[in-house]
């Protein structure tokens, strides 16, 4: 195995992922940790590609308290699939969506069609939502309805990193509710200072 994916904490275990074949997990707090291997749904690649490239199109993450695996096919037809782990090693296909019709029929013909969409991050709160990147855009797909529900262009300061990264450009974070009302100081002169909540800083209106 070649670990080419950030570690994932799930079910009291740490999971180290090789997207070309599977994941190894262990209890990091056990005095005698036992390794457990789970093969990914599509099995081991017959011809191992560059794992840095493959990691752009295969991701493991947690959503709705279950371990999930998402994959985008790298040739036509472009299909997004999402699986959920049941038990120790059984994966269930939950979503399968053809992407090409979404771009054209959904009013997004300006997306760079020559590029294969990458998996940005698995939504931690809604298992039917997947955030993809294509060119300089982040596109949110609802796999239940088969529709694009949001899109945004990445700021110029981060476009190069988005394009050049081998995978895992985004991270999913769940903030504690109390952070929304926490007061944070404002830099600058004290007489012009005004307390802001974290929500004031994070949420911008157009």
Q: Based on C-alpha coordinates, what's the Rg of the chain?
A: 19
Could you give phi then psi for residue 131, rounded to 5 degrees? -105, 115
pLDDT by residue, tens only, the chain of 206 residues: 666 788 999 999 999 998 888 999 999 999 999 999 999 987 555 445 565 678 889 999 999 999 999 999 887 788 999 999 998 788 999 999 998 887 776 666 656 666 788 898 899 999 999 999 887 888 899 999 998 888 888 766 665 555 555 555 677 777 777 766 666 666 555 544 455 544 444 444 34
| CB-count burial class (<10 Å; 0-12, 13-18, 19+) for 14 | middle
Secondary structure of residue 31 in the 3-state scheme: coil
Q: Which pLDDT belongs to residue 198?
A: 46
User: What pTM did the predictor assign?
Assistant: 0.77
Give 198's contacts (C-beta < 8 A, 6+ positions apart). Answer: 175, 179, 180, 181, 182, 184
* Residue the block writes with tokens 């007061």: 183
Q: Of all residues in the chain, what percent are helix, strand and coil, respectively (each to 5)? A: 15, 35, 50
Report which DSSP code applies to 78: P
Distance CA 89, CA 96 (A): 20
Distance CA 102, CA 139 (A): 11
Distance CA 11, CA 133 (A): 29
Q: Which pLDDT belongs to residue 169?
A: 61
Strands (DSSP E) contained in the chain are 8-10, 13-18, 22-26, 36-39, 58-63, 66-72, 79-86, 90-98, 118-122, 129-134, 137-142, 147-153, 183-184, 196-197
The closest alpha carbon to 142, from 126, 124, 153, belongs to: 126
Structure tokens at 73: 């096919």
């Amino acid at each position: 195995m070649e670990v080419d994916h950030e570690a994932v904490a799930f079910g009291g275990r740490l999971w180290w992922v090789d997207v070309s074949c599977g994941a190894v997990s262990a209890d990091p707090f056990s005095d005698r940790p036992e390794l457990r291997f789970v093969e990914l749904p599509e099995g081991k690649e017959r011809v191992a590609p560059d794992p840095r490239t493959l990691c752009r199109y295969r991701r493991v993450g947690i959503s709705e308290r279950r371990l999930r695996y998402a994959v985008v096919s790298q040739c036509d037809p472009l299909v997004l699939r999402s699986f959920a782990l049941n038990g120790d090693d059984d994966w269930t296909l939950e979503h399968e969506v053809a992407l090409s019709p979404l771009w054209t029929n959904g009013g997004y013909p300006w997306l760079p069609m020559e590029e294969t969409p990458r998996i940005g991050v698995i939504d931690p709160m809604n298992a039917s939502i997947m955030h993809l990147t294509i060119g300089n855009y982040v596109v949110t797909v609802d796999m239940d309805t088969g529709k694009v529900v949001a899109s945004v262009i990445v700021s110029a300061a981060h476009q190069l990193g988005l394009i050049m990264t081998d995978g895992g450009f985004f991270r999913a974070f769940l903030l504690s509710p109390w952070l929304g009302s926490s007061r944070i100081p404002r830099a600058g002169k004290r007489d012009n200072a005004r307390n802001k909540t974290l929500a004031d800083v994070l949420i911008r209106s157009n």
